[in-house]
Structure 1
Amino acid sequence: MQNNSDSIIAIVPAAGIGSRMAADKPKQYLQLGQQTILAHTLDVLISHPLISQVVIALHPQDQYFQHLAQAQHPKLVQVIGGGERADSVLAALNMAKTINPSAWALVHDAARPCLCHSDIDKLLKSQSRFPQGAILAAPVRDTMKRSDANGLITDTVERALLWHALTPQYFPIDTLQANLTNALKAKVNITDEASAMEWAGVMPGLVTGRVDNIKVTHPDDLQLAQLFMSQAQ
């Protein structure tokens, strides 16, 4: 595992305001138990002993973050994000590079509050096996179907080598910043950090993560996340 606590900077893209889940605020600010989703996510990252700082990319009109207790934490740095996730990650990487250009970035979704330290530890340990970087992922367990535009099944997809991509995703800051910048200039569809690395010819490693590391996307996910967090306590 990394033993230099100055070499890991967590990146949290939290600038999106489009997904409100039928609520009056962005989903990362919805209540999950005693705190918001984002507050839980930040607590996990801030409290990890090997993460030196957390850079969060916020929407320029964000009216909620300042009210979180975590907003004033000395580990946390704020930047203004962009219109897409990739733009926000790049803005945070630019800041992280001024902090420590030789550091590694641990990019994590703001709406994944159930992340645990043990999964972070597994990802950090993987650096010796995957010096090019790696992501947390979960093997696909269900039968996978491909459909046409009308919702009809066209074929069954072999699931043996398929994975669900999770976060965090873990890469050297300078390499990820360069690949993400070039991919955006080339107008490549970047869905996560690994896709920018793949576009540049890098093959990131896969590290099996816990299946309870869910992304809160739909209203039902809030109840599921609450269940997972209550069982972890």
Structure 2
Amino acid sequence: METLAMHISNGIIDGPVAAAFAVLALAATAYCVRRGRQDLDDRLAPMAGLVAAFIFAVQMLNFPIFTAGVSGHLLGGALAAILVGPWVGALCVAVVLVVQALVFGDGGVAMLGLNITNMAVLGTAAAYLLIALLLRVLPRTPAGLAVTAFVSALASVLVAAMGFVVQYQLGGTADLGGNLAGLAGTMAVSHLLIGIGEGLITATTVVTVAKVRPDLVYALRALKPATPAPVPVVGGAR
């Protein structure tokens, strides 16, 4: 019986496709490093460390999906995007994935490009696009921020799951049973449930931080509302 990994294990996707996504992941993370340097300051740097540690912890919650080495888990991309922004957030998730693969054997080292593309790049990007949209149309109250965090977290998990489906179609080698539509359905249903759990955790965490220190929430600082609010509504005036 094979041991389930937290992420895509070696042998699930063939070498050429894994190599292509490794190049893509490397290019994307390099771009995030360049853009993230512009955001890093004395406030964001320690927050990024805390976010990475939190993501590492929540990704330890692992939910088997297939017996061939694929499993689902919480991602943390939306949480990172809200608290430290899309560029630093993607780097936080990528660093966690690298440490898990190299130190703890969670996910195949040869599959790192695939996992980083799905979870750090696609998941975080999808989350931040929704965050930017929702924070322009929803009131910046705790309830509005909670809805934003929940929806973006749920979407990020589903997008990352569908990223794996595309990768498997391009170069899948393991027998995961059924056709592509069946695989997509299995991934969507299982990750919908995971996404709901992640959404609740993300919403609770973000609202808690925003109530105490709204200045630490990157999205509230960087994304301006469509129409200026007369008074701050999350965390009070400061």
Query: Larger strand proportion, structure 1 or 2?
Result: 1
Query: Larger helix proportion, structure 1 or 2?
Result: 2
Could you tell me the TM-score, scaled by structure 1's length? 0.28
